[in-house]
Structure 1
Amino acid sequence: MPTDDSPQSTVKHWRDCTDAYDFLEQIRLRPSMWLPGGSLEHLQAMLLGYQVAISVHSVDENFSFWKFSQWLKAHLGGNSASYGWAADIERSTPDGSTPIEEFFRLLQIYRAESA
């Protein structure tokens, strides 16, 4: 994810990504390629699958889907256990923004607070 003090990210092949954040940056750069119809539900399923895969294969990864999901639930004040964080973000997206843009805005806040 780009920050104010980092250079703008560039598009690359997913195989060249080094971690979940790097892959998420590729999704941010080209959301229509990765998320049919801009669906956060697709992103939620993708991240859940990613977390399961790294857990099953005991991969050490700096992205914790579980911690991020819990942070989103607390931050949004939603009932993520029932509908999932994708639905919470879609319900809370401010006018003038899209759910995808809101997701990446929240991800940037999460990363800053988790650093």
Structure 2
Amino acid sequence: MSYVDPRAGSMAAQIAGQSGEMDVVANRGLSAVRSIAAAHRLTGEYISKTYVVTVPSLEPSKVGPIDDRLIVADDKAAVSIEYGHLVRFKNSRRVKFVPGQHIMGQAVRAVG
């Protein structure tokens, strides 16, 4: 019979979180986001406000802190750009849906 330490998953995540390979993969994802966004850019503001940040994991750990990487789009219109939004015509009740560009979703599929 074999024994597996119940902390094994947390220990593996902690080791991975401290690995430089996590930064490499996160930067690959960031490059994909910027490349996809470049095809849609009007001002370049969205691209200039994308970056990678290291944050503590949301999952509780049995062995100590675990680092995760996030690719952040800090543009004020990031949600509208990703998922779409409504545009109201001036002096009218008429609205039009502008579809999202799904930049982050495309980047995940491209890198994945």
- What is the TM-score normalised by the length of structure 1? 0.31
Greater percentage in strand: 2
Query: With structure 2 as the length reference, what TM-score do the two structures score?
Result: 0.31
Question: Computing the radius of gyration over CA atoms, which structure comes out larger, 1 or 2?
Answer: 2
